[in-house]
Amino acid sequence: MQTITRAHLAETIYAEVGLSRNESAALLEVVLERMARALESGNSIKISGFGTFSVRQKGRRIGRNPKTGVEVPILPRRVLVFRPSQVLKAKVNGLAEPLEDEGLDRP
Amino acid sequence: MTRSELISELSSANPHLRGADVELIVNTIFNEIAAALARGERVELRGFGAFTVKRRDARLGRNPRTGAPVPVDEKTVPFFKTGKELRERLNREAPHRGTSARAAGRSKS
């Protein structure tokens, strides 16, 4: 399977925006860093037509080493969750229109 | 933070760029990621995270209102896995120190 990396995205910015290759790569980094900083301070990021990144607080729980069965405490932590928008979900299924109600109650 | 807030923050931090260009950059990034996922490809941004698509098998769902069984076709869903560096950054400070920031984020969204 083909993997898209920073280099591909920077190349697309270079082609679309007409900045230099170096500046395109630098700006991609700036965008990701801005997003990371917002998430770090606990804010969520809502990109219409794409999805929402939000930070969720997880409480302490008892986990288990699957190999040895030994109980290990999992400390409280913050995790990032991405919820794709209906538009993105439709796109990855090759559909133009977003589905309503997740396929239930469709006319 | 919304797409437009991200664009305006980036614009004020980069006064040498035209606003329209900043908007184009942000839109290009998300459009490219979406297009790659639509082609079934994976997008890996080391340190930030990776976008992939996962296949969900067909299953028998239920109409939550009537309880009637509804066949749900096999489908593909977008998935994001947080990168190591970002995951560590989210937990760098003691979780409780982030309380005020989270409350601010909640009232904003």
What pLDDT shows up at residue A85? 97
Whether A107 shows a pLDDT value over 50: the answer reads no
d(CA A92, CA B54): 10
Per-residue pLDDT, averaged over B61-75, amounts to 94
Whether B52 shows a pLDDT value over 60: the answer reads yes
CATH number at residue B7: 4.10.520.10
What distances in angstroms separate CA B107 from CA A63, B4, B28, B102, B104, one per listed residue? Answer: 33, 18, 29, 9, 5
What pLDDT shows up at residue A99? 52
Domain containing B67 equals: 3-89
d(CA A13, CA B15): 18
Q: B105–A44: do the CB atoms touch at under 8 Å?
A: yes
| In B1-109, alpha helices (H) | 3-13, 19-38, 84-90, 99-108
Whether B103 shows a pLDDT value over 50: the answer reads no
Q: Give the number of domains in chain B.
A: 1
Per-residue pLDDT, averaged over B5-34, amounts to 96
Give domain limits for chain A: 1-38, 42-99
Is the CB of residue B58 less than 8 Å away from at least one CB of chain A? Answer: no
Q: A43–B109: do the CB atoms touch at under 8 Å?
A: yes
Whether A103 shows a pLDDT value over 80: the answer reads no
B34 located within any domain: yes
Which residue bears the tokens 């990109």? A47
d(CA B79, CA A13): 23
Is the CB of residue B33 less than 8 Å away from at least one CB of chain A? Answer: yes
Is the CB of residue A9 less than 8 Å away from at least one CB of chain B? Answer: yes
What's the whole-number average pLDDT of chain B?
88
Nearest CA in chain A to B56: A93
Residues of B in contact with A45 (CB under 8 A): 1-2, 6
The CATH number of the domain covering residues in A42-99: 4.10.520.10
Q: What is the pTM of this model?
A: 0.83
* Contact between B61 and B71 (Cβ < 8 Å): yes
How sure is the predictor about A95, in pLDDT bands with cuts at 50, 70 and 90? Answer: confident
Q: A42–B45: do the CB atoms touch at under 8 Å?
A: no
Residues of B in contact with A57 (CB under 8 A): 95, 102
Residues of A in contact with B63 (CB under 8 A): 104-105
Which of A78, A99, A101, A106 is best to mutate for the B interface (most B CBs within 10 A)? Answer: A78
Which residue bears the tokens 């509804």? B70
